């Protein structure tokens, strides 16, 4: 979605809620000056809270290697 700086400032809460659904491109004078995207989280990072007792050195690569063994 494209939105002007003025509209973004007026309805910032609305656009912050929308960023989880789609990227927001903020424009000034018809040119993109900023882009808001939802942060990407790796699968390992999303599971870290569930695996509280797991070693901190676990990476996606180490999990894949273990699974392939």
Buried b (16+ CB within 10 A) or exposed e, 26-51: bbeeeeeeeebeeeeeeeeeeeeeee
Domain residues of the chain, as ranges?
2-36, 40-69
**How far apart are the C-alpha atoms of 49 and 42, rounded to whole Å?**
13
Q: What is the pLDDT of residues 4-53, one digit of tens each?
A: 999 999 999 999 999 988 999 999 999 999 999 987 766 666 666 666 66
Helix (H) or strand (E) segment spanning residue 27:
strand 24-28
Per-residue model confidence (pLDDT) at position 66: 86
Per-residue model confidence (pLDDT) at position 53: 67
Per-residue model confidence (pLDDT) at position 35: 95
Residue with more model confidence, 62 or 27: 27
């Amino acid at each position: 979605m494209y939105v002007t700086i003025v509209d973004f400032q007026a309805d910032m809460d609305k656009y912050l809620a929308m960023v989880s659904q789609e990227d927001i491109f903020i424009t000034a004078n018809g040119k993109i000056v900023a882009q808001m995207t939802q942060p990407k989280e790796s699968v390992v990072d999303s599971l870290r809270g569930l695996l509280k007792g797991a070693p901190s050195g676990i990476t996606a690569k180490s999990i894949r290697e273990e699974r392939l063994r």
